Amino acid sequence: MKYDAVIIGAGPSGSFCALNLARKGIKVLIIDKCSFPREKACGGLISKNAMDLLKRHTLTIDINHNIINKICLIGKNEEQAVIESRTPLGIIVKRKEFDQFLARKAVEAGADFIDNCRFESCILESAGYKIQTARGNFYADYLIGADGCFSKVARASNIRKRWSKWEKGIALCAHVPDEYVVQKRVNAVEFCFPDVLAGIGWCFPGNNYYNIGVGGTVFDSKRIISAFKLLLEKNMKDKKSLSNLKYNAAFLPAGGRFRKISDKRIFLLGDAAGFVDAFSGEGIYYALRSAEILSDVINQNKDGREYEKRCYETFLGEFRLSAFLSVYFGNKKHVFQKGMQERFLKAICMIMTQTPESMRYKKVFDCLITGGFSFNVAFLWLKRLILD
Ligand SMILES: Cc1cc2nc3c(=O)[nH]c(=O)nc-3n(C[C@H](O)[C@H](O)[C@H](O)COP(=O)(O)OP(=O)(O)OC[C@H]3O[C@@H](n4cnc5c(N)ncnc54)[C@H](O)[C@@H]3O)c2cc1C
């Protein structure tokens, strides 16, 4: 069957791109290797930024969600710092439901969707791309890789073979029912700072559950696992309920370098392109924004160079600053020193509510760096990378 565009992967980037292309009258197919709805390891925090972007495309999130208007930082000795906003800072969703919602919207807009269908390889023929899948061949003028961190499209098209260790993060999380969790503030996302390089721990209140997790660089994988166990135990009323929980883990690529993300009429989106903020771990906004940029580029009949140029004009500066900050703050031990907590609260608010176009990371950088730096961090990285 011949399409204008075939998209591999029905995560936020793939489905949102399909929706935009279908609305422009472009004949589009999405395939996903999983049976939908499917689980996805994620904190489920959709920032105000991402919500505004969806609203611009007249999408109202009509699934279960919980509105967030507070951010709370928890220190090592349980000290706390809180900021409250009069307007929502974001929402917490279950990714299984959010991704299904976006895929449904894409289909309603006219896209075809085949789940349980694994992409295998692609061949450029005179009439376009021949796309080989576990359920037969499809043909398209454009091939879009929205297939996550370990994109097979990137490998099959020689755009990228693998990530270096420096570019990869790993995160673990669990959905914990309300009744298992010690009492918490309502509508507040909590962040804590375990002894993990470039890492963060979180506890996000969903609708009748909490999403608890820890993420950081793959160099610190062992510490991430133990910090995750500790964080769960700290937040549970009774440790015995731990055995009832289901854990999820996934890798995430960090933005910060200029990388090839397209080739002729093959394009990579979201995690497949490495569009994750290394400092905050946010990826959904970039997944949606890269999909928005690509659908414009295809609609204007432009090629991969235009897509690459527009993405990097929008994201590269901010990814560089966020990667720098994640290294600079090490394991963020000094968040509760020298009044830094107010600066961190302000910075997280800016990341959740302002767009890359408003140079938000420049403001975040100014806000955090003027707070002072501990040289211990440089020694900490050296010790972890060389001696541990
Ligand atoms: C633990 C964790 C917590 C996170 N928390 C947050 C958060 O709270 N907020 C936030 O903004 N970001 C968060 N992120 C990042 C966010 O999850 C990703 O950036 C986002 O999912 C990227 O969307 P995507 O559409 O590019 O890829 P994905 O969501 O990974 O979707 C890729 C899709 O491709 C499919 N696929 C893969 N290979 C194939 C193949 N060969 N054939 C067919 N289909 C294929 C997969 O089944 C999947 O459905 C978190 C990440 C992790 C790991």
Which CATH number do you get for residue 152?
A: 3.50.50.60
Check whether residue 302 and residue 325 sit in a common domain: no
Check whether residue 170 and residue 185 sit in a common domain: yes
Check whether residue 304 and residue 367 sit in a common domain: no
Is the bond into 37 cis (omega within 30 degrees of 0)? yes
Check whether residue 142 and residue 175 sit in a common domain: no
Ligand 1 pocket, mutate which of 65, 211, 252 (most atoms under 8 A from CB): 252
Check whether residue 201 and residue 282 sit in a common domain: no
Which atom of ligand 1 has the smallest separation from the CA of 276?
19
Of the three residues 238, 253, 268, the one that is the final residue of a domain is 253
Cα(287) to centroid of ligand 1, in Å? Answer: 9
Cα(58) to centroid of ligand 1, in Å? Answer: 23
Residues in contact with ligand 1 by the CB-under-6-Å rule are: 8-14, 31-34, 40-45, 118-119, 146-148, 152, 171, 173, 213, 215, 250, 252, 269-272, 276, 281-285, 287
Which atom of ligand 1 has the smallest separation from the CA of 117?
43
Ligand 1 pocket, mutate which of 16, 33, 191 (most atoms under 8 A from CB): 33
Check whether residue 14 and residue 111 sit in a common domain: yes
Which atom of ligand 1 has the smallest separation from the CA of 171?
1
Which atom of ligand 1 has the smallest separation from the CA of 120?
41
> Residue 271: inside a domain, yes or no?
yes
Ligand 1 pocket, mutate which of 122, 203, 271, 351 (most atoms under 8 A from CB): 271
Q: Which residues of 281-305 are buried (b: 16+ CB within 10 A; e: fewer)?
A: bbbbbbbbbbbbbbbebbeeeeebe
Supply the DSSP string of 8-76, one letter for each residue. E--SHHHHHHHHHHHHTT--EEEE-SSPSS-------EEEHHHHHHHHHTT----S--EEE-EEEEE-T
Cα(204) to centroid of ligand 1, in Å? Answer: 18
Look at the chain and report how many structural domains it folds into. Answer: 3
> In this structure, which residue's CA is closest to atom 29 in ligand 1?
11
Q: Both tokens of residue 239?
A: 């440790």
What CATH number is attached to the domain comprising 181? 3.30.9.10
pLDDT at 366: 85
> Residue 71: inside a domain, yes or no?
no
Check whether residue 180 and residue 53 sit in a common domain: no
pLDDT at 379: 66
> Residue 72: inside a domain, yes or no?
no
Which atom of ligand 1 has the smallest separation from the CA of 269?
26
Which atom of ligand 1 has the smallest separation from the CA of 151?
38
- How confident is the prediction along the chain (388 residues), in pLDDT tens digits per residue? 899 999 999 999 999 999 999 999 999 999 999 999 999 999 999 999 999 999 999 999 999 999 999 999 998 888 899 999 999 999 999 999 999 999 999 999 999 999 999 999 999 998 899 999 999 999 999 999 999 999 999 999 999 998 988 889 999 999 999 999 998 888 999 999 998 888 999 999 999 999 999 999 998 899 999 999 999 999 999 888 888 899 999 999 987 788 899 998 999 999 999 999 999 999 999 999 999 999 999 999 999 999 999 999 998 989 999 998 888 887 777 788 777 888 889 999 999 999 988 889 888 888 888 655 556 666 666 666 666 6
Residue-number span of the structural domain to which 231 is assigned: 165-253
Cα(80) to centroid of ligand 1, in Å? Answer: 31
Cα(40) to centroid of ligand 1, in Å? Answer: 7
Check whether residue 337 and residue 231 sit in a common domain: no
pLDDT at 308: 95
Q: Is 277 helix (H, G, I), strand (E, B) or coil?
A: coil
- Name, in order, each residue with C-beta under 8 angstroms of 379's C-beta and a sequence gap of 6 or more: none
Check whether residue 258 and residue 111 sit in a common domain: yes
> Residue 146: inside a domain, yes or no?
yes
pTM of the model: 0.95
> In this structure, which residue's CA is closest to atom 15 in ligand 1?
283
Assess contact for 351 and 330: CB atoms under 8 A: no
> In this structure, which residue's CA is closest to atom 3 in ligand 1?
42
> In this structure, which residue's CA is closest to atom 37 in ligand 1?
147
Of the three residues 316, 343, 364, the one that is the final residue of a domain is 316
> Residue 370: inside a domain, yes or no?
yes
Among 106, 119, 234, smallest CA distance to 182 is for 234
